[in-house]
Amino acid sequence: MLKLNNISKQYISGTFKQNALDDISLEFRNNEFVSILGPSGSGKTTLLNIIGGLDRYDSGDLIINGKSTKNFKDSDWDSYRNNSIGFIFQSYNLISHMSILSNVELCMALSGVSKKERKKRAVEALNKVGLKEHLHKKPNQLSGGQMQRVAIARALVNNPDIILADEPTGALDSNTSIQIMELIKEIAKDKLVIMVTHNPDLAKEYSNRIIELKDGKKVNDSNPVTEENKDYEYKLNKTSMGFLTALKLSFNNILTKKGRTLITAFASSIGIIGIALILSLSNGFNIQIEEFEKNTLSQAPIIISEQSINTTIDTFNNNNDDLEDYTNNKKVYSLKTVENLVHINNISKEYISYINNIDKNLIGGISYQNGTNIILFSKIDGKIKQHNTQGLINQMPSKLDGSISPIISDNFDTIYGELSNKKEDLVLLVDSKNRIDSLILKELGYTDNDEIDFDDIIGKEFKVILNNDYYKDNGSIFIPNTDYESMYNSKDAITLKITSIIRGKENNDFAKMSSTGLLYNKSLIDYIINENNNSNIVKAQNDKDYNVLTLEKFNLKTDEGKKQKDTLLSYLGADISPLALQIYPKDFDSKDKIVSYLDKYNKNKDEKDKILYIDQSEMITSLSGGIMNAITIVLIAFSGISLVVSSIMIGIIIYISVLERTKEIGILRAIGARKKDIARVFNAETFIIGLTSGLLGIFIANALIYPINIIIENLSDLENVARLNIIHAISLIIISILLTTIGGLIPARIASKKDPVEALRTE
């Protein structure tokens, strides 16, 4: 089964060479108890380590079931130790932070045995060696003899072909030694047992074959193999340590040094705490901004007016940008001013039709600014007065069908009366304290000191006078009618009444920005334009090349002259395109779709034919969001430095752990753990520290958020500003794990490359 052909091994230290084994050839039976005797330095332990695959021979060959090991890779030796070899060491070599049950289970975990089967076989093995009552004890809770029994159970549990015992009774008293030797002798009945010992009496009493070594050479073999052993096909089962097993090993080790681990995790978590608090504040402020935007800007209109700033043109359009040196250049160049950047929008009927075809589900409301003059009269103290409508009366946002927009009900409370879609019904908008502008109050016939009951306002009448009653044809010129009484009582006059009073909802910033005054329905202006478009003065003005109110001549050969005439026609109520319009989105998502719709109109058009707009909410949110993001990035960058320092610190801590667990590394290699398994054990330790650090950091950050919010509230009246987003929290925990894992990669690699023989000698 096992054969050594001319095995030699040298140890070289500088210029000194020592022959540990010199041309050793041996063959072993499938089951026998072999004792290897010899003085110190004779090569006994080296021979045992080479047979066990812990050390490598320099020349010769180790043959297992007819298979040469000359071409074995590291993984093959790992599998060989796990499947074919069971070690019993003089110093027991148990992992102190694991229970004896876990110590015995470990080699089966490397073999891929299921958890249930592992436990069953481990319990049976410990029962055989008389330790059934001690399954969950740690090694330091056992006597020397009991620990050696655990080592024997571990050696047997994977049913190896060969048991290697290195001075198994060297640390035991005589009575315990006898018990252990009897146990090993029993094992040798169906396995090959090779024992190294200094005690010739022990060897003679228990073994059936004694091999003596001296100076690395075989000097005697009491029972050499003479018959030819039958060779079997030797098949290696690959070993592998699962990450959960590695985690368990590292977790048990960490439990033995909880204080140091917590301090390390806390130190590492400082960066996580800092970033978590920064992200909490950033997230909270962004939520506050979003809430402000929702209340204030979500329905802020997209404004399309006759004039707009063309932001696609560089403000400073220097045609000498390609010159590298201006110092010696003796030329002057033009500089574009803001006036040059003004873009004229042609708000045509075609464009208005395009707007009217927009998806109605996106529109919260729309209002048009017409150039039409609303001729408004009222009777105050029995006298008829013509009003200056500038600032007094404005159009309410409406749906595309002309009815009142939900923007009004969403942002304003009707505090008296009832809203109506009728063209004759007016709405009075007051501020949060039921006030209106003093100039408007004066136009309504009141003074600054007046306190007016709602009942006195509701029902107040106004008259809209149409062109045919207001303008009188006086030959080549039209003049205003001075007979207020006849106009006021005309059957064509439109009687308007204030039917409701509205006030902005509490804490609604959009409503706070609205100007007080009278509001009318879109249906009113549509009716006025429809009537006045067919009036005598509009017909006359359409036919004339001069101003029918002033006799001023229009130069219709120029764009300016044409524009002057159109402006006058619009003022008189002709069906001319509006001067501007405001589109109120339902929400931010709708706003984005509306903007895309407006941009679609401009696609493939010349610059002069494009219709530019002003997106108020985008201007504000991009500015506020950009500032907040910049501040957050800078603060995170500073906090990130501590994370890098933490990563370096973790690397140092893990390296210390490698030094502390060197013996454990040797034990793991002896039972078949691969180099990558050793690295995995320490990577698992960094994973646990990183996870603990991340969780601790998030926990402390959450605890600090409460006092931080109290301080901010006392300073600014903002409630619950700091809010840690769950996604940020999870991300920071993952970052903590990644950084600590990266920090531990080098120490883990160092651990994986440790020589198992040297590691086992460490105390």
- At 279, which amino acid appears? L
Rounded Cα–Cα distance for residues 186 and 572 (Å):
120
CA distances, 487 to each of 277, 468, 482 (Å): 70, 10, 9
The better pLDDT of the pair 7, 762 is held by: 7
Q: Is the pLDDT of residue 757 over 60?
A: yes
Q: Is the pLDDT of residue 131 over 80?
A: yes
- At 580, which amino acid appears? A
Instruction: Report pLDDT digits (tens) over 443-478.
Output: 888 887 778 899 989 999 999 999 999 999 998 899
Q: Angle at Cα 316 formed by Cα 312 and Cα 319, nearest 5°?
A: 100
pLDDT at 293: 61
- List all residues 6 or more positions away from 715 whose beta carbon is below 8 Å from its beta carbon: none
Partners of 414 in beta bridges: 502
Q: Is the pLDDT of residue 162 over 70?
A: yes
DSSP letters along 4-22, please?
EEEEEEEEEETTEEEEEEE
For the CA atoms of 379, 382, 386, 387, the dihedral, rounded to the nearest 10 degrees, stands at -60
pLDDT at 175: 87
Query: By mean pLDDT, which of 142-156, 270-284, 530-544, 561-575 is the weakest?
Result: 270-284
Q: Is the pLDDT of residue 314 over 60?
A: no
Strands ordered across the beta sheet of 32-37: 85-89, 162-166, 192-196, 32-37, 209-214, 217-221
Task: Give the rounded distance of the alpha carbon of 90 from its chain centre.
Answer: 53
- Confidence band, pLDDT 50/70/90 cuts, at residue 479: very high
DSSP letters along 362-411, please?
GEEEEEEE------EEEEETTEEEE---TTTEEEPPB-TTSSBPHHHHHH
pLDDT at 273: 86
Rounded Cα–Cα distance for residues 486 and 443 (Å):
21
Instruction: Report pLDDT digits (tens) over 709-730.
Output: 888 888 877 778 888 889 888 9
The better pLDDT of the pair 568, 509 is held by: 568
The answer to whether 361 touches 586, Cβ cutoff 8 Å, is: yes
Q: Is the pLDDT of residue 609 over 50?
A: yes
The answer to whether 457 touches 427, Cβ cutoff 8 Å, is: no
pLDDT at 294: 58
pLDDT over 90 for what percent of the chain? 33
pLDDT at 500: 95
pLDDT at 643: 74
pLDDT at 633: 74
pLDDT at 631: 67
Residue at token pair 């509230």: 713
Residue at token pair 């994973």: 687
pLDDT at 650: 80
Q: Is the pLDDT of residue 324 over 60?
A: no
Rounded Cα–Cα distance for residues 724 and 475 (Å):
77
Instruction: Report pLDDT digits (tens) over 145-157.
Output: 999 999 999 998 9
pLDDT at 555: 92
List of domains in the chain = 2-238 (3.40.50.300), 254-297+622-761 (no CATH), 302-615 (no CATH)
Q: Is the pLDDT of residue 48 over 90?
A: yes
As given in the structure block, the two tokens for residue 51 are 């047979």
Rounded Cα–Cα distance for residues 184 and 207 (Å):
10
The mean pLDDT value of the chain amounts to 85
pLDDT at 532: 94
Instruction: Report pLDDT digits (tens) over 105-127.
Output: 988 888 888 889 989 999 999 99
As given in the structure block, the two tokens for residue 322 are 């390609």
As given in the structure block, the two tokens for residue 635 are 């603060």
Partners of 496 in beta bridges: 462
Q: Is the pLDDT of residue 316 over 50?
A: no
pLDDT at 37: 94
The better pLDDT of the pair 340, 583 is held by: 583
Instruction: Report pLDDT digits (tens) over 54-71.
Output: 999 999 999 988 889 999
pLDDT over 70 for what percent of the chain? 90
Query: By mean pLDDT, which of 8-22, 112-126, 160-174, 227-241 is the weakest?
Result: 227-241
Residue 379, φ and ψ in degrees, nearest 5: -110, 120
Rounded Cα–Cα distance for residues 462 and 488 (Å):
9
The better pLDDT of the pair 112, 479 is held by: 479
Crossing angle of helices 100-110 and 115-128, in 10° steps, is 130
Mean pLDDT across 156-177: 88
* Dihedral (CA of 273, 277, 280, 286) sign: negative
Instruction: Report pLDDT digits (tens) over 280-298.
Output: 887 877 777 666 665 555 5
Crossing angle of helices 258-292 and 616-660, in 10° steps, is 180
Nearest to 673 by CA among 241, 159, 74, 158: 241
